[in-house]
Structure 1
Amino acid sequence: MDSSLHLDKKPDWIKVRLPNNPVFWDTKSMIKDLSLVTVCEEAQCPNRWECWGQGTATFMIAGEKCTRACGFCAVKTAKPDDLEADEPQRVAEATKRMNLNHVVITAVARDDLKDGGAEHFQRTIEAVRETNPGIIIEVLVPDFNDKDWALDLVMKARPHIFNHNLETVERLTPLVRSRAKYDRSLAVLKKAKEMVEGKVATKSGIMLGLGEKPDEIAQAMDDLRSADVTVLTLGQYLRPTPMHLPVVEYVTPERFDEWKEVALSKGFRHVASGPLVRSSYHAADFHPEDDVLEAIEVDLAAAKQTQTA
């Protein structure tokens, strides 16, 4: 892609106000206190001022160094450090201190680990649930290199919402996503739901502004629906540094509204669509169906009873 296409001047609708909220600084202090990493900071999310000001955050486990180098992502690429055994409990403690009803847990890609960090996800989900009974747990996961047994570790911990981002349309995937495959991501989403017999809400996200065409966006939506994904996020791609992919287009808020209607007409149950929307932006606005929540609790209780028998 021609770097001369990069649009340096951001439109007014992209600009955000800096915080003047004590809750923001309290959240920042607590995260530092517990030596935690958030995707809010690492990925330079434009909404971190708002989210932290409301006392919410998306926790990034398994370190801050990624083994992949995606063309859109601000997270650093480097040899990762060893996993921290007490990190799951620290995340659980943070969710308790913040009195969260809904938590989002994500991670860098850990291709250096045999399971891609799946067991670490499992342990974190379990720690959060034990410390905060009743909390809605959402995970945003990498593809685990298409290892079903690794994905199964995450699903056995029974998150309420399973998120894996498609990120872009099929044609642009090789350019945008390092070592990722469009079909593999669709398969991850489909298999995750099948592993728990449909008792999970599945979610995915697509960035706009990378040069995708309208028919390609519509096709990506159709592909996600074919994988039984019911929650979709659509947001504007913003270039983190001059070393990253250029912005080809700033999509207007009105166009994002139109895409939301298209997505809803295709059968998505919940759609967040706007220039500043990110995977976990206002994540708590979506609440899984009561029957899904009840089924998860029944399965967890049965599993616990089996373990103690």
Structure 2
Amino acid sequence: MTEITPIRDNTPYQRKPDWLRVKAPVSKEFAETKKLMRRLGLNTVCEEAACPNIGECWQKKHATVMILGDTCTRACAFCNIKTGMPGKVDVLEPVHVAEACGEMGLEHIVITSVDRDDLDDGGAHQFVRVIEELRSRSPGTTIEILTPDFRHKAGAIERVAEARPDVFNHNLETVPRLYPTIRPGARYYHSLKLLETVKRVDPSIFTKSGVMVGLGEERLEVSQVMDDMRSADIDFLTIGQYLQPTPRHAKVDRFVTPDDFANFEQLARAKGFLMVSASPLTRSSYHAGDDFLRLRAAREERLQRQSQNQTTNQ
């Protein structure tokens, strides 16, 4: 299996600005969450991707469960998850995810996965089983999924969408120009088409996508990605700072300032997204539960305005 090609050997880490520094996780709740995940044999993207928000999220007992193992068949230049040949799919994993959800008392859960290009369906069936198990055991919990692109897996996207998660997230990650070096195993327009397909299958599902900044993209390119997302009817956009996991990964081109993130958020809202989260520490599932409530309220408000406008114009 192809491994990440070193991009900048022996490159020293850049000193992070003050707005990116977070406290080390030491809370009792953090330890309890970690113990629960190990007891049930579950992986989390919080750990595998070295998320800077892990201390805050786990203190609140919010964790993003990563199904289908801890080994990815892709080798993206930004990602800290290990690459290689994954093991067999754990048939008990959906039950264990549901048990963790119940024990943590989650009102909203986020499920993601590694890429599984080795599987005929890319892991779509496991996503469906997890959703079904959660619906059965925790019917009051809303479900958000963050999927791989299911490239070359005919019918996989439709199959997962038909399981009706509340939020279907798939990240574009970066601008099209940087795909060959940052996300070489993926295709920009395929990822856009994925989210467009979800809306076609079930327009009631909220769609969500995110990009990292600080990889060398231009502001105009980010604006174009926003336009492309809106053309695909994506509801929720997240924008966060790229952080270099190791010297072997893509180098940080620049640290984007909080003011720049505020400008990105203002631009995205003007383009019509229902929800926008843009900050240095924003990640796909950061504050996902609270954001879902705001997302649902924003849709209800928009529908109410549209209804009022139609009545006025009659």
**TM-score (normalised: structure 2):** 0.89
Contact 1:200 1:292 in 2 (8 A): no
2:44 pairs with one of 15, 38, 46 = 38
1:234 aligned to 2:252? no
Matches within 5 A, 1:208-287: 208-287=213-292
1:135 aligned to 2:141? yes
Letter of the 2:283 partner, please give it.
Answer: R
Partner residue of 1:190?
196
1:12 pairs with one of 15, 18, 25 = 18
Deviation at 1:81, TM superposition (A): 0.2
1:113 aligned to 2:119? yes
Contact 1:146 1:188 in 2 (8 A): no
1:289 pairs with one of 284, 296, 303 = 296
Contact 1:199 1:292 in 2 (8 A): no
Write the distance in 2 (CA, Å) between the matches of 1:226 and 1:102. Answer: 28
Write the distance in 2 (CA, Å) between the matches of 1:73 and 1:33. Answer: 26
Residues 22-69 of structure 1, C-alpha deviation per residue, up to 9 Å, x if partnerless?
Answer: 111111111111110000000000001110000110000000000000
The alignment partner of 1:234 has SS state of strand
The alignment partner of 2:211 has SS state of strand
Letter of the 1:179 partner, please give it.
Answer: G
Deviation at 1:3, TM superposition (A): 3.9
1:53 pairs with one of 55, 59, 75 = 59
Contact 1:203 1:229 in 2 (8 A): yes
Deviation at 1:292, TM superposition (A): 8.6
Write the distance in 1 (CA, Å) between the matches of 2:207 and 2:131. Answer: 16
Deviation at 1:148, TM superposition (A): 4.2
The alignment partner of 2:76 has SS state of coil
Q: 1:231 to 1:267 in 2, by over 3 A?
A: same
Write the distance in 2 (CA, Å) between the matches of 1:201 and 1:148. Answer: 22
The alignment partner of 2:116 has SS state of coil
The alignment partner of 1:165 has SS state of coil
Write the distance in 1 (CA, Å) between the matches of 2:7 and 2:73. Answer: 26
Write the distance in 2 (CA, Å) between the matches of 1:193 and 1:34. Answer: 34
Number of aligned residue pairs: give it: 292
Write the distance in 1 (CA, Å) between the matches of 2:165 and 2:259. Answer: 34
Partner residue of 2:174?
168
Write the distance in 2 (CA, Å) between the matches of 1:260 and 1:18. Answer: 28
The alignment partner of 2:151 has SS state of helix
Where does the alignment leave 5 or more consecutive residues of structure 2 unmatched?
1-5, 301-314
The alignment partner of 2:250 has SS state of coil
Write the distance in 2 (CA, Å) between the matches of 1:40 and 1:139. Answer: 15
Write the distance in 1 (CA, Å) between the matches of 2:259 and 2:40. Answer: 41
C-alpha RMSD of matched pairs (Å) = 1.8
Matches within 5 A, 1:93-112: 93-112=99-118
Write the distance in 2 (CA, Å) between the matches of 1:178 and 1:81. Answer: 23
**TM-score (normalised: structure 1):** 0.91
